[in-house]
Amino acid sequence: MSMMEETQRIRQTIAAGPFEADWESLKGYTVPAWYEDAKFGIFIHWGVYSVPGFGNEWYPRNMYLQDSREFKHHVETYGSQAQFGYKDFIPLFKAEKFDADAWANIFRQAGAQFVVPVAEHHDGFAMYDSAFSEWTAAKMGPRRDLIGELAEAVRKQWLVFGLSSHRAEHWWFYEGGMVFDSDVQDPRYIGLYGPAQPKTMQPNEVFLDDWLARTCELVDKYQPQLVWFDWWIEEPAFRRYLQRFAAYYYNRGAQWARGVAINYKHDAFPAGSAVFDIERGQLTDIRYPFWQTDTAVAKNSWGYTENQEYKTATELVGDLVDIVSKNGALLLNIGPRPDGTIPEPEVELLLNIGRWLKINGEAIYGTRPWKTFGEGPTQVVGGSFNDTKRAAFTSQDIRFTTHGETLYAIALAWPADGTVTIKSLASDATLFQHQIGKVELLGYPEELQWRREAAGLVISLPEQKPCEHAFAFRISPTA
């Protein structure tokens, strides 16, 4: 199908409704219930950039920037960029041990409810079978439709499948290779490296039409219920195209009778027309409507590198609880090796979170925010790229969620004195005006000793912890 024919087909789908390609119509969008209930998903940065395993997933850009450490590393390790360019890593990206069913089983054990692999990163190498490019995992390297295999495996585990597209940034990603002798300038490889334009230049209509066609192709071929976009779609040139894509995707979701969602950053979409996402950061208070944090198990990279700096399971559970208490979801990234195996420390982190959710999941899944997100001394730093800047949570840090009339209070550490005091539930507090009928510790079968007084709801804990990381109390009003 020609680009003109594809553009016409997209227009016809939009015209069929119910959404039109304008912000006023798109503000009629409703976040699907599955997403608000799910709370926890897995993000996967896996691609050719995992082969060098150096720096981070921006290696393909940085190896062409002459003042970067990746440039120096590349020349010292592989030779000049004219002799060995990024394209030459593709045959080494074999995915020979990739088992989509094994991955999906790990994600289910982790307690994740949705899975979002990167379909195409900034490097321009599609991890799926695209009709618009020869530079795909289906035609080179692994010679497998990796996204298709994963979509099938994830759905077999009754998880929701989504995907991400970082294609917008490809406009300028290889610009560094245009200023010195490199294979980026070889016309034989323009399908991978092009357009390689300056970042200061807005993308042209040819690129934007291609972007829209590729993104709609992902929707049609894999029927994702979540499409995640990186930040550069906020550039003015994308505005009309974002409207077209959103209308197309929402209309396709209506045809499938499935709830779908788009993630965006900053101000790329008006509030209420898609789901706001914060990269490696959090919010300081409850936000309406529903939102999301995307972050990684590693502090230094999204993709696989040989020297990852990992967060702890306690840190990740604390972030999950804090985000959910503020009406958000956590999309947690892993970075598989080029052979298709997930590094063992990352598997253990996921399974550790899953063990916690198996006990405490009722305080997370399907919940909604309370009147206040929580209490305690530890301040969360708001905004993007702040997820490693807060101090460790203490036992005085409490987060709240609700499910119907039931209130959950989650203590983010175990107290040394065996007592938790929840100030927001003091006898004279106005936030919870019911009489408390029962207080239970999830994972602990026995009754707890508790009292409600002016200082707060004081709970005496058992000697044995029911789990690690954080501890959820089920608080039920008198019937």
Q: What is the pLDDT of residues 267-303, one digit of tens each?
A: 999 999 999 999 999 999 999 999 999 999 999 999 9
Return the structure tokens found at 71.
């440039």
The pLDDT score that the predictor gives to residue 181 is: 98
> In terms of Cα–Cα distance, which of 45, 101, 53, 74 is closest to 230?
45
CA dihedral 297, 136, 128, 99 (to 10 degrees): -60
Rounded CA separation 407/327 (Å)? 15
Inform me whether the pLDDT recorded for 236 exceeds 80: yes
When computed from its CA atoms, the radius of gyration of the chain, rounded to whole angstroms, is: 24
Place of tokens 């409600």: 452
What CATH architecture does domain 374-477 belong to?
Sandwich (2.60)
Where does CATH 2.60.40.1180 sit in the chain?
A: 374-477
Where does CATH 3.20.20.80 sit in the chain?
A: 3-363
Instruction: Characterize 186-220 residue by residue with b for buried, 16 or more Cβ atoms within 10 angstroms of its Cβ, and e for exposed.
Output: eeebeebbebbbeeeeebeeebbbbbbbbbbbbbe
Average pLDDT of the residues in 259-267: 98
Domain 3-363 sits in CATH at 3.20.20.80
Q: What is the pLDDT of residues 315-372, one digit of tens each?
A: 999 999 999 999 999 999 999 999 999 999 999 999 999 999 999 999 999 999 999 9
Rounded CA separation 192/135 (Å)? 6
The pLDDT score that the predictor gives to residue 390 is: 84
DSSP code per residue over 70-123:
HHHHHHHHH--TTTS-GGGGGGG---TT--HHHHHHHHHHTT-SEEEEEEE-TT
Inform me whether the pLDDT recorded for 1 exceeds 80: no
Q: Where are the alpha helices (DSSP H) in 223-312?
A: 239-256
Average pLDDT of the residues in 375-393: 92
Place of tokens 């997930």: 342
